[in-house]
């Protein structure tokens, strides 16, 4: 099921990009170049929605934008700077801080500008951005939501000890038991309990983040689990836990696999060592690519409404009916994908933990 969904997403994403590219190519002409800036820019809209930002966009565009401003925190060679992102009212707006003048570039990155409003690359290189961006704010919200829900569930377990679960406890208990019995126990073995806090945390964090990313309005709309920095941190945590808990048998199989002739080890050992570092990389890319692809596909079909609408209002209406219907289907599919990706990341993490704790088998000693 998971493989089929991934393949469908890849093929659909490729088809969308080809369709949008063909439409732009067909509709653009030398005579339209002067008016190109007035046309709907699908690529810009999609990138803005899946990328991080210094404000949490709600609705509108340009001067009519309604957004939640977020704090900008910059560390410069002259000291810290604190100010609100509302000071960047539009793309060309600059803010005069106590150390430098700043503005946001097209990639939503803070740059230092000089007196002539040109970017000072030397000064910009000295600025480190610690701002509370949209993804960071979403991360804090997801963490707070997890704490509120599971502290409540933990309280229910203490209060209703020995009684049938109800409310939030009744909803989450089957999921927790599933992770314990079908993921942790099956993949790790008798020592599964020490890994349960991490496995439960990473599963619900990814699941909640995926679901919140599907909500178009606050507190949703952030592409948290589709941010490669977030998936990289999760993957590195799995790698660190695996490495710390790995036993001698694990490293023996990585460095010098028992029963393998020494000449073969010259080829096999580098591959095994590379595999140790490739595992977290695969975890990172898998989650990032699947979540981001889902957002891009949904946004691409919405964009088709406006692209065809610029050509002909009737055509835009017809495509709109199809696009909305497809997005309803994609929304239902994304609900499933949101759960599957949380499950896959948790399962692979548990498998890596189990491999690190695996004890040597007696038949290894008999291999010549």
Q: How far apart are CA 154 and CA 151, in angstroms?
A: 5
Based on the domain organization, do 119 and 147 belong to the same domain? no
Q: Per the domain annotation, does 3 fall within a domain? A: no
Based on the domain organization, do 88 and 67 belong to the same domain? yes
Based on the domain organization, do 72 and 211 belong to the same domain? no
Structural element, H or E, at residue 339: helix 313-357
The distance in angstroms from the start CA to the end CA of the chain is 40
Based on the domain organization, do 72 and 173 belong to the same domain? no
Domain boundary residue among 129, 155, 170?
129
> pTM for this structure?
0.78
Q: Per the domain annotation, does 48 fall within a domain? A: no
By residue range, what is the domain housing residue 96? 63-129
Based on the domain organization, do 125 and 148 belong to the same domain? no
Q: Which tokens hold the place of 76?
A: 């410069």
Q: Per the domain annotation, does 67 fall within a domain? A: yes
Q: Per the domain annotation, does 54 fall within a domain? A: no
Based on the domain organization, do 111 and 155 belong to the same domain? no
Q: Per the domain annotation, does 56 fall within a domain? A: no
Q: Which residues pair with 274 in a beta bridge?
A: none
Structure confidence by residue, pLDDT tens digits, 287-336: 988 888 877 877 777 777 777 776 767 766 777 777 777 777 777 888 88
Q: How far apart are CA 267 and CA 137, in angstroms?
A: 46
Based on the domain organization, do 184 and 93 belong to the same domain? no
Based on the domain organization, do 120 and 194 belong to the same domain? no
367 φ, ψ (degrees, to nearest 5): -75, 130
Based on the domain organization, do 139 and 121 belong to the same domain? no
Domain boundary residue among 129, 150, 167?
129
pLDDT on residue 25? 37
Based on the domain organization, do 112 and 213 belong to the same domain? no
Based on the domain organization, do 240 and 266 belong to the same domain? yes
Based on the domain organization, do 143 and 266 belong to the same domain? yes
Q: Which residues pair with 76 in a beta bridge?
A: 79
Q: Per the domain annotation, does 9 fall within a domain? A: no
Structure confidence by residue, pLDDT tens digits, 165-200: 777 888 888 999 999 999 999 999 888 899 999 999
pLDDT on residue 316? 64
3-state class of 221 per DSSP? coil
Q: Per the domain annotation, does 350 fall within a domain? A: yes
Structure confidence by residue, pLDDT tens digits, 49-102: 777 887 777 776 666 667 788 888 888 888 888 888 887 766 567 888 888 888
Q: Which tokens hold the place of 267?
A: 């080829």
Q: Per the domain annotation, does 7 fall within a domain? A: no
Q: Which tokens hold the place of 317?
A: 């209406």
Structure confidence by residue, pLDDT tens digits, 14-40: 444 444 443 343 343 333 433 444 576
Predicted confidence band of residue 263 (pLDDT cuts 50, 70, 90): confident
Q: How far apart are CA 248 and CA 268, in angstroms?
A: 18
Q: How far apart are CA 153 and CA 138, in angstroms?
A: 22
Domain boundary residue among 73, 104, 129?
129
Q: Which tokens hold the place of 72?
A: 């900008």
Q: What domain count does the chain have?
A: 2
Closest CA to 24 of 51, 46, 8, 9: 46
> SS3 sequence, 141-200?
HHHHHHHHHHHHHHHHHHHCCCCCCCHHHHHHHHHHHHHHHHHHHHHHCCCHHHHHHHHH
pLDDT on residue 178? 94
């Amino acid at each position: 099921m998971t493989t089929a969904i991934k393949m469908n997403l890849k093929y659909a994403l490729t088809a969308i990009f080809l369709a949008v590219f063909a439409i732009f190519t067909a509709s653009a002409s030398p005579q339209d170049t002067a008016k190109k800036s007035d046309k709907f820019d699908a690529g810009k809209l999609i990138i803005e929605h899946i990328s991080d930002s210094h404000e949490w966009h709600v609705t509108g565009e340009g001067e009519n934008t309604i957004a939640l401003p977020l704090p900008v925190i910059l560390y410069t060679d002259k000291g810290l700077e604190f100010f609100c992102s509302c000071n960047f009212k539009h793309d060309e707006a600059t803010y005069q801080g106590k150390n430098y003048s700043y503005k946001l570039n097209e990639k939503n990155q803070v740059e230092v500008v000089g007196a002539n409003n040109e970017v000072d690359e030397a000064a910009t290189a000295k600025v480190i951005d610690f701002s509370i961006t949209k993804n960071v704010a979403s991360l804090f919200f997801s963490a707070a939501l997890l704490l509120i829900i599971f502290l409540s569930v933990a309280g229910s377990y203490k209060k209703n000890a020995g009684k049938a679960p109800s409310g939030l406890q009744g909803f989450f208990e089957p999921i927790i038991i599933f992770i314990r019995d079908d993921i942790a126990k099956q993949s790790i073995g008798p020592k599964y309990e020490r890994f349960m806090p991490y496995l439960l945390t990473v599963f619900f964090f990814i699941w909640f983040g995926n679901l919140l990313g599907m909500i178009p309005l606050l507190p949703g709309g952030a592409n948290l689990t589709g941010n490669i920095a977030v998936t990289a941190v999760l993957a590195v945590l799995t790698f660190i836990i695996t490495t710390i808990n790995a036993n001698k048998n694990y490293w023996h199989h990585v460095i010098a696999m028992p029963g393998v002739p020494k000449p073969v080890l010259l080829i096999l050992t580098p591959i095994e060592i590379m595999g140790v570092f490739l595992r977290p990389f695969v975890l990172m890319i898998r989650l990032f690519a699947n979540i981001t692809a889902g957002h891009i596909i949904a946004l691409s079909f919405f964009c088709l409404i406006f692209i065809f609408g610029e050509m002909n209002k009737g055509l835009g209406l017809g495509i709109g009916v199809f696009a909305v219907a497809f997005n309803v289907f994609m929304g239902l599919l994304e609900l499933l994908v949101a759960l599957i990706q949380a499950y896959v990341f948790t399962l692979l993490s548990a498998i890596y933990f189990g491999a690190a704790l695996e004890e040597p088998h007696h038949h290894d000693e008999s291999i010549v």
